[in-house]
Amino acid sequence: MVSSENPYPVDLQILGARICLRRVTLGLSQRDLVNELYYERLINDVECGLVAPSPGFLKYLAECLETTPENLLVPEPGRNPPLYKDEEPKDLETSSRQLALMNAHIQVEIGQPEAALVFLQPLDPEQLSVELKAVFYRVRGHALLQLRRFAEAGPDLERSLALFEALGSEHVLQIEIVRNLIGLSLYRQNRIKEALKHHQRCLEAVIQGQITNPRYCLMLFANLANEYYLLGNCNLALSIYKNDALPLAEQGEDDLLVASIFWGASQAFQEMGEAGQAVIYMDRSVKLYKKHQAWPLVAQALDQLGVILMRREDYKLAGEVLTEALNLAQSLDEPRALAFINLNTAYLYLKTGRLEMAKTFIETSVGLARKVADNLLLGQALETMADIQLAQAQPEQAFQTFEEAVCVLSQTEQHKFLDEVLESYSEALKNNGQFEKALEIHFKMRKLV
C-alpha cells in the first residue's frame, strides 16, 4: 500500500504537495478521500511526503482528485505540476500563491478561520488564474462563514460559484461544494427556505450521478434533514437522517458526524412525540461528543437532553443534566450556548413552580440572546419570559413580551417556532377574556399553514 522508499520519478514531498494542492483546489478535506482501505492518517503521511503510495493507492487518489497518476508524477523538480493535460507548469511566484491557498484551506479544515484569513490577506485574487481565484473566494467565504460574518461570506461564496460555473460542467464538484456552503450560510442566518432551495439543487447533482463523494453526500443529507425538520416536515427529516445520512456517517467511521446525525434524529423523534427514542439518540450524541472531548458540542447536546427529559416530566434528572450543561458552558465562555441553557433552565423552574428562579434565568437568557443577535434564540427566550409573566399574574406585561417575540420570529423563516408562539399568545388572550384579539392571532396562524 505504501513504502518509505520512492519508486517514482519525482520527489515524495513534491508528489505530496501536488496531491494536497489538487485536493485543496477541489475543496476537499483529507477525510473526503477516506474509504475502507485508506485512512486519514495514511493520506496525511502521503501529502507530507513521508511515505510513497502504492500504484493502486496513487490511482485511487488521482481518480478522487479528477486527474491522472501521470499528471501527478511529471518529473519537473522545483516546478509545480500540470494538473490538467493542457496545463503549463507554473513559476515560483505562482507556487507561493498556491502554497498560501493550501495553508488557508487547511486552517479552515481544522476550524481555525482567523489563521486562514491571515494566509489569504497578502493575496490579490486578480493576480490568480480563474480557477485559483474561485478557490480564493471559496476559502475566504468559508472562513468568514465559520466566523459568522455572513454579510461578508455571502458575496465571496457567490463570486466563487459564478467563477466555477463559468469554467464549465467539468467543475461540477467544486460548483456544488460552494453551493452547499451558500445554503449552509443561509441556514445559519435562519433563512431556511432559501437554504433548502440551494441544497435541493445540490441534491439534483447527486441524484444524476454527477457527484458520488460519500462525505459530500453525507453533509448534504444532514443539511436537508435539518431544514425539513425546522420547516415542520419531521417524517421526511427523520427518514433522511436514518436512511441516508446515518449509514454514510457510520460507514465513514466519523464519530462527530454520527453524533450530529443522532442529534438531528433525536430532535425529529421529539417532535413526533417519541420521547423515549429522542432520549436514546441524544444520549448517544452526548457520549460521542464526550469521547472526542468536543466540549462546546457536549454542552449543547446536554442542554437538548435536558429539554427532552423535561417533556417526559423527569424534572429531577433534567435538572441534573442542565446543571452539568450550564457549568460546562460557563467554563467555555460560550454565550450562545449559555443563552439556550439559561432559557431551558428557566423553563424547568417554571414547570416546577419556582417562579423567582425562573425569572432570574430567563432574564439572563434574553440578555445573552440580544447580545449575540440571534432572532430565533431571542424569540424563543421571549416566549418563555411571557409564560413566566403569565404565571406571575402579569398578563399585560406578558402580552407585550409575546408581541416582541412574534415580531422577532417574523424576521426568520422558522414558521414552526413562530406558530408555537402565536398559539401560546392566542390561548393566553382567550384565558384573559380578550377574545377579539385572540381571534386575530388565530388568523395569523392560519396564514402560516
Report the distance separating Cα 307 and Cα 344, nearest Å: 7
Residue 433, helix vs strand vs coil:
coil
Q: How far is CA 279 from the centre of its chain?
A: 22
Say yes or no to pLDDT of 154 above 90: yes
Q: What is the pLDDT of residue 80?
A: 46
Q: Is the pLDDT of residue 384 over 50?
A: yes
Statement: the pTM of the whole predicted model exceeds 0.85: no
| Higher pLDDT, residue 89 or 184 | 184
Task: Write the single-letter amino acid at 310.
Answer: M
**Which residues lie closer than 8 Å to 432 by C-beta, 6 or more apart?**
395
Side-chain-facing half-sphere of 280: CA atoms under 13 Å: 5
Q: What is the number of alpha carbons within 13 Å of residue 166 lying toward its C-beta?
A: 11
Domains identified in the chain and CATH numbers: 2-89 (1.10.260.40), 350-449 (1.25.40.10)
pLDDT at 92 over 60: no
Q: What are phi and psi of 17, to 5 degrees?
A: -65, -40
- Range picked from 184-193, 318-327, 418-427 for highest mean pLDDT: 318-327
pLDDT of amino acid 91? 54
Residue 447 — very low, low, confident or very high, per pLDDT cuts 50/70/90? low
- Tell me, what's the pLDDT at 98? 83
Q: Judge whether residue 366 has pLDDT over 90.
A: yes
What is the model's pLDDT at position 255?
82
pLDDT score at 424: 92
- Residue 253: is its pLDDT beyond 70? no
Q: 58-62, 251-255, 377-381, 429-433: which has the minimum mean pLDDT? A: 251-255
pLDDT tens sequence across 8-32: 777 777 788 888 888 888 888 888 8
What is the C-alpha to C-alpha distance for residues 50 and 26, in angstroms, rounded to an integer? Answer: 23
Radius of gyration of the CA atoms of the chain, in A: 25
Cell of 42: 495514511
Q: Is the pLDDT of residue 285 over 90?
A: yes
Are 335 and 368 in contact by the 8 Å Cβ rule? The answer is yes
Lowest-confidence region among 97-101, 189-193, 232-236, 330-334: 97-101
Question: What's at 394, amino acid-wise?
Answer: Q
Over range 334-354, report the average pLDDT. Answer: 96
More confident residue, 314 or 102: 314
- β-sheet bridge partners, residue 52: 3
- Average pLDDT of the chain is 88
Of 97-106, 368-377, 394-403, least confident by mean pLDDT is 97-106
